[in-house]
Amino acid sequence: MTTSETRVDAEVWPEGSLEVISQHEADLLKNSSAGGLYPLLRRCMLAVLNSGSEYDEAKEVLQLYHDFEIGFIQQDRGLKVSLKNAPSEAFVDGRMIRGTRELLSAVLRDIVYTRQDILDSGRFDLDTSDGITNAIFHIVRNAGLLDLPTNVNLVVCWGGHAISRDEYDYTKLVGYEMGLRELDVCTGCGPGAMKGPMKGATIGHAKQRVRGGRYIGITEPGIIAAESPNPIVNSLVIMPDMEKRLEAFVRVSHGIVVFPGGVGTAEEILYLLGVLLNPDNAGQPLPLVMTGPTTAADYFQQIDAFVGATLGPEAQSRYKIIIDDPRAVAQEIKTRLNDVREFRMQHSDAFYFNWRLTIDHEFQKPFVATHESMSALDISDDLPPHILAANLRRVFSGIVSGNVREDTAEEIDRHGPFQLSGSQRIMDLLDTLLKSFVAQQRMKISGREYDPCYVIK
């Protein structure tokens, strides 16, 4: 191993996955062209090694470590990963931090498995709803998320990665209260509202002498550089795209807590509400609580008003807003989990994966944000609420992509901002909501004043 002040060259053995690989897998890893995995692995591994950095924009991270390289050394006793010009923060006294090594191995595991066993195998029909759900099940099972016996205690927490200090402290308090009630936490794995609940839960678990607490992070390659896995994550899963990531969240969760965030959090809310508004899910219990400190009350008021004006009161009835009361949040989720347990027992459904939840194909098809796809979105008043939710979710997804993905940002630099149009009433509501995010500095990236990647007509 060699080191400089900020860069490290090292060789590490994978831990927990792919210690032994086939020749075909080795060729796939080494090949940087013709469909090889090198560019994707480099991006995701850099994100893991960059955990805890002040940089939260993918383009900046990749530029800062433009000379970062990975290599793979296949030996008779297994695979070794070589790193050149890696961030020094991932090492202590010449050794890679063990948690970092585990997450690095998870990257290797998921990207190889997804390419070889899901995308290229022909076993899954990814043009059908059932085929997509089946593929998601296999990815999370391969990642070890479906341990048995399973308790009904996994709470997904959503929220922004660049929130204020008081909002971050509040997420820790909620996580602490959930940890005291022996609830496990799953987030998008990054900083901010994705780290705080995990940090709080570790203390609650320690007080209750909970051993084996689960701190699950679910991410995808497009945003991982802007939301590097936080060091508390002890189980990382990389899904192939945003839609499969969102479906994985709702399939493995037993309840969901939403903290303050920005446009990405709004995307997650609209996704979930769109799923729950599907008539086939009318009786499906899935507790949803939106919460934050007093300073975040306006954020949730604006979200609630937007949901009511676009999706209607039925959508509003599917969640509860609790302001500045961490204990009440944990108590509400814990109590409502009894409904989830009873429902799944009554219908002989699995505790570890929600097979009965109907997710329309409109919510499963990968959406790639381009100028053409964004301008073509149907935002009409006469759409069924769950379909309108799907298209509004795509609007927010495209804005997230323009904010954090370097490839999308480059397209915007070349061709200008996305052009959004639709029902004038809904466009006015959308414009008001997005302007409120900007005014509250919820669209800020790396401390700079936000330059919108969209124009609302």
Give the integer Cα–Cα distance in Å for 308 and 237: 34
What is the mean pLDDT of the segment spanning 185-198? Answer: 94
- The whole-angstrom separation of Cα 321 and Cα 315 is 13
Structure confidence by residue, pLDDT tens digits, 58-101: 567 777 888 898 888 876 656 788 899 998 888 998 889 999 99
- pLDDT value at 314 more than 90: yes
Per-residue confidence at 412, pLDDT binned at 50, 70, 90? very high
Tell me the domain boundaries of the chain: 2-84+96-120, 148-457
Q: What is the pLDDT of residue 34?
A: 46
254 pLDDT exceeds 60? Answer: yes
Question: In CATH terms, is domain 2-84+96-120 a member of 3.30.1850.10?
Answer: yes
**Placement of tokens 């100028």 in the chain:** 371
Give the DSSP H or E segment for 401: helix 385-404
Q: Which residue has the higher pLDDT, 61 or 138?
A: 138
Q: Is it true that domain 148-457 has CATH number 3.30.1490.20? A: no
Mean predicted lDDT score pLDDT of the chain: 89
How confident is the model at residue 38, as a pLDDT? 83
Task: List, in order, residues 6 or more apart from 198 with CB less than 8 Å away.
Answer: 175, 185, 187, 215, 230, 232, 233
Q: Which pLDDT belongs to residue 430?
A: 95
Q: Please count the other Cβ atoms lying within 10 Å of the Cβ belonging to residue 150.
A: 15
Residue type, 367: F
Strands 288-292 and 320-323: parallel
Asked whether residue 318 carries a pLDDT value surpassing 90, the answer given is: yes
Tell me which of 303 and 120 has the higher pLDDT: 303
**Residue 369 tokens, joined:** 């944000």
pLDDT digits (tens, 9 = 90+) for 196-244: 999 999 999 999 999 999 999 999 988 887 788 999 999 999 999 999 9
How confident is the model over 309-321, as a mean pLDDT?
A: 96
Question: How many angstroms separate the CA atoms of 100 and 137, rounded?
Answer: 25
Q: How far apart are CA 60 and CA 55, in angstroms?
A: 7
Taking alpha carbons only, the member of 80, 69, 10, 83 closest to residue 38 is 69
Q: Region of 18 please: left (phi>0), alpha (psi -120 to 50) or beta.
A: left
Across 378-405, b (16+ Cβ under 10 Å) vs e yields ebeeebebbbbbbbbbbbbbbbbbbbbb
pLDDT bucket at 245, cuts 50 / 70 / 90: very high
Q: Within the chain, how many helices (H) and strands (E) appear?
A: 16, 15
Question: Sorting pLDDT into bands at 50, 70 and 90, what band is 157?
Answer: very high
What is the mean pLDDT of the segment spanning 152-172? Answer: 94
